[in-house]
Amino acid sequence: MQSKIAFCLACCLWIINSTALTALQEKPFTVGTATASPGHKASGVIEIPAGSDAALNIPVVVVRGTKPGPTLAIVAGLHGTEYASIIAVEHLIETVDPATVSGTLILVPLVNVNSFEQIIPHLNPADGKNMNRMFPGNMSGTQTDRASFLITREVVEKCDHLIDLHGGDLDESLRPYSYWTRTGNDKLDAVSREMVLAFGLDHVIISTDRPKDPAASRYLENTATTRGKASITAEAGYAGTVAQEDVEALVRGCQSVMRFFKMLPGQPERVAHPVWIESIETITSEQNGIFYPLVKRGTRVAKGTSLGYLTDYVGNKIMDARAPADGEVLFIRAIPSMTKGQTIANIGVVGTPK
């Protein structure tokens, strides 16, 4: 009799537990105006209301899996002319099948709609601000501030992990790489390290200088990280191009991170021999002029190697741009236009295995 009761209790617990799990997955998931029930994909917008300047609708797609699992946000187009990253998220929107997903995907393919439509690199032309520098934002500021605030509320606070996708902008010839933020929180850093390795890009920049204060997080990835959510940034694409290999690298990277979190069946494709970039040396232009590059992105250079030169508008050489350190050309100016203070190249200083 006693054993029958014990058996019944076990049964009841199992039924209660499985009902709870089922009930959890029966709930729809909402971001902005997009509400997806389990097994479905829904699209909508995050509505940024008008304030001191115009309103903005940021497109969003929610993919709600049928099985329980984490919520992963994948965001692109904070810089609206880093096209390969935007097209990669468009590809994910088209191809991810909610029936195969465990957990939930929040896909934001294009935050900086004005930049995309007006073909303006780096900034939101509505207010001249960089959309990856104003997080966590506020509702009393300009459009970028308000967008940052509502992305923080709708995307960052609703996800468990975030991947922020970028690439070389219109004026940058960039080799693919990802960023691993080292916060000092070993548990968090171990998860983001696995994410960055699962993403599969073989060059990883180690960020140690990101703000620690969640109220002054600046960057999107850092807004998630400072809220205790292990997250990464990855970049591929350059100078307005949409090369298949760059788009595929970003799509495969996102899918592989989903496998790491068991959101998709299969094993992640972990990068076997990552190149860790311990610091970045930036060389900036001393004058306005015409830039002529002498090396390509991805080239290993020694300190003092000539990376390119600058002339005035009648052909007189006015600057020789030399590598400030031994390292790899992470990106180099892709176009002749150059003004004083702009970046000529970023040299990644290669570190030891991590």
- Shortest distance (Å) from residue 48 CB to Zn ion: 19
Query: Token pair of 90, please?
Result: 């468009």
Residue type, 308: G
Residue (41 or 166) nearer to Zn ion, CB: 166
Work out how close the CB of 332 gets to Zn ion at its nearest, in angstroms, rounded to a whole number.
16
Q: Quick check: 146 binds Zn ion (CB under 5 A)?
A: no
Q: Which residue has the tokens 């304030």?
A: 51
Q: Minimal CB distance to Zn ion: which residue?
A: 166
Instruction: Tell me whether residue 25 or residue 143 sits nearer to Zn ion (CB atom).
Output: 143
CB of 287 to Zn ion, least distance (A): 26
The distance of closest approach from Cβ of residue 164 to Zn ion in the complex, given in angstroms and rounded to an integer, is 8
Stretch that binds Zn ion, among 112-120, 160-168, 199-207, 331-339 (CB under 5 A): 160-168
Which residue carries 């039924």 as its tokens? Answer: 15
What region does 19 belong to: left with phi over 0, alpha with psi -120 to 50, or beta?
Answer: alpha
Q: Cβ 197 to Zn ion, closest distance in Å?
A: 22
Nearer of residues 71 and 346 to Zn ion, judged by Cβ: 346
Does the protein bind Zn ion through residue 79 (CB under 5 A)?
A: yes
What the block records as the tokens of 79 is 């810089």
Q: Which is nearer to Zn ion, 166 or 175 (CB)?
A: 166
C-alpha distances in angstroms, 171 versus 291, 331, 338, 353?
Answer: 11, 10, 10, 31
Nearer to Zn ion among residue 145 and residue 172 (C-beta): 172
Least separation in angstroms between residue 75's CB and Zn ion is 11
Q: Is 166 in the site for Zn ion (CB under 5 A)?
A: yes
Contact criterion met (CB below 8 Å) for 304 and 323: yes
Q: Strand 306-311 and strand 102-108: pairing?
A: unpaired
Close Cβ partners of 77 (under 8 Å, ≥ 6 residues apart): 85, 86, 89, 108, 109, 110, 111, 112, 113, 115, 116
Determine, following the binding rule CB under 5 A, whether residue 218 of this chain makes contact with Zn ion.
Answer: no
Which residues from 262-301 bind Zn ion, rule CB under 5 A?
none
Other beta carbons within 10 Å of 16: 10
Point out which span in 35-43, 52-60, 73-81, 296-304 binds Zn ion (CB under 5 A).
73-81
Residue with Cβ nearer Zn ion (243 or 325): 243
Is the CB of 123 or the CB of 283 nearer to Zn ion?
123
Helical residues (DSSP H) of 238-342, grouped into ranges? 244-260
Which range, of 47-55, 144-152, 165-173, 192-200, touches Zn ion by CB under 5 A?
165-173
136 preceded by a cis bond (ω within 30 of 0):
yes
What residues contact residue 223 under an 8 Å CB cut-off, 6+ apart? 135, 136, 152, 156, 214, 217
| 122 lies in the binding site for Zn ion (CB under 5 A) | no
Q: Dig out the tokens for 247 from the structure.
A: 């788009």
Positions in the binding site for Zn ion (CB under 5 A): 79, 82, 166
